[in-house]
Amino acid sequence: MLVTIGEFARRSRLSLKALRLYERQGLLRPAEVDPFNGYRRYDVDQLADARLVALLRRLDMPLAEVAAVMAAPDRAAVLAAYWARVERRFAVQRDLAAHLHVVLTGGKGLSEMYEVHVRDVPEQVVLTEQRHVAQLELEEWMAAAMTRVEKAAGGFGGVSEAPFVIYHGEVNEDSDGPVEVCVPIAAESAPPNAPARVEPAHREAYVRLKKREVEYPQILSAYDAVGRWVKEQGLAEAGAPREVYWADWDGAGPDDEVCDIAYPVK
């Protein structure tokens, strides 16, 4: 049964303005448009779609995402994927808000955010790649460099321990490191025909991060937490800070623990 746009608006609890917008976006087209006067009529069977569009918009879902849901054979799957992205974004934003609170309060709350641990790390032979890199390029370069060095490690028996990234200088809007990607290999000494060196044995203080916490700039709070803890314990930093990536990054979810922020101490 066809009804006027006014009647359809009343039954669907959508405004005329919203119905015209959804028509322009291709979300909800009238079943019939009179070619002479332009009057629009909707089929009452479209009420379910109209109400679905209204509910999706109440999720603050952008119109383009609403269109994807409406056009999908499996609407539930598309909605689930969208909401998973939203929850990941909210989780990152929550961590960023916590980081900003720490910044704005002069470091208050760091000890509550992170639990610092200590461990002894044995001497390791590592293959390396080092570069001065800007903050905007850091993530892409790290991923590519890690892939290259891990591939090279195959020629020396493979990766023996968790790879790590050493920051020999700060990487931010004004500083570019340098940054060194290190991949441990099973060797007693550095092979002469490869970019390799010996990383000395040391004790280190560290905190463990979830994947969603490894975001710039909130990751800086983790560095601050370890650095502050080291001073409070009367210790001294004995080397450059580092990120130890001991988990499967690609296979990890946002709430999975993936890496450690560590400082060598003495």
Whether 54 has a pLDDT exceeding 80, the answer reads yes
Query: Does residue 212 form part of some domain?
Result: yes
Whether 258 has a pLDDT exceeding 90, the answer reads yes
Query: Does residue 50 form part of some domain?
Result: yes
Structure tokens at 213: 């916490």
Measure the CA–CA gap between 229 and 239, rounded to whole angstroms: 15
Query: Does residue 121 form part of some domain?
Result: yes
Do 148 and 202 reside in the same domain of the chain?
Answer: yes
Mean pLDDT across 205-214: 94
Measure the CA–CA gap between 11 and 220, rounded to whole angstroms: 53
Do 180 and 122 reside in the same domain of the chain?
Answer: yes
pLDDT at 137: 94
Q: The pTM is what?
A: 0.71
Measure the CA–CA gap between 89 and 199, rounded to whole angstroms: 37
Query: Does residue 83 form part of some domain?
Result: no
Query: Does residue 66 form part of some domain?
Result: yes
CB 123 within 8 A of CB 185: no
Q: How confident is the model at residue 99 (pLDDT cuts 50, 70, 90)?
A: confident
Do 127 and 235 reside in the same domain of the chain?
Answer: yes
Domain boundary among 71, 93, 125: 71
Query: Does residue 92 form part of some domain?
Result: no
Instruction: Identify the domain containing residue 18 by its residue range.
Output: 2-71
Mean pLDDT of the chain: 92
Whether 223 has a pLDDT exceeding 90, the answer reads yes
Domain boundary among 46, 71, 96: 71
Query: Does residue 151 form part of some domain?
Result: yes
E strand intervals along the chain: 2-4, 32-33, 40-43, 117-121, 124-131, 164-167, 179-185, 196-199, 202-210, 242-245, 257-265
Proportion of the chain above pLDDT 90, given as a percent: 64
Nearest to 113 by CA among 265, 231, 228, 258: 228
In the DSSP assignment, the letter for residue 97 is H
Do 42 and 116 reside in the same domain of the chain?
Answer: no
Measure the CA–CA gap between 78 and 66, rounded to whole angstroms: 10
pLDDT at 123: 96
CB 212 within 8 A of CB 95: yes
User: What's the total number of domains in the chain?
Assistant: 2
CATH number at residue 16: 1.10.1660.10
Whether 103 has a pLDDT exceeding 80, the answer reads no
Mean pLDDT across 127-154: 95
Lowest-confidence region among 144-153, 232-241, 248-257: 248-257
Q: Distances in Å between the alpha carbon of 98 and those of 15, 109, 229?
A: 40, 9, 18
Q: How confident is the model at residue 220 (pLDDT cuts 50, 70, 90)?
A: confident
Do 55 and 117 reside in the same domain of the chain?
Answer: no
Query: Does residue 26 form part of some domain?
Result: yes
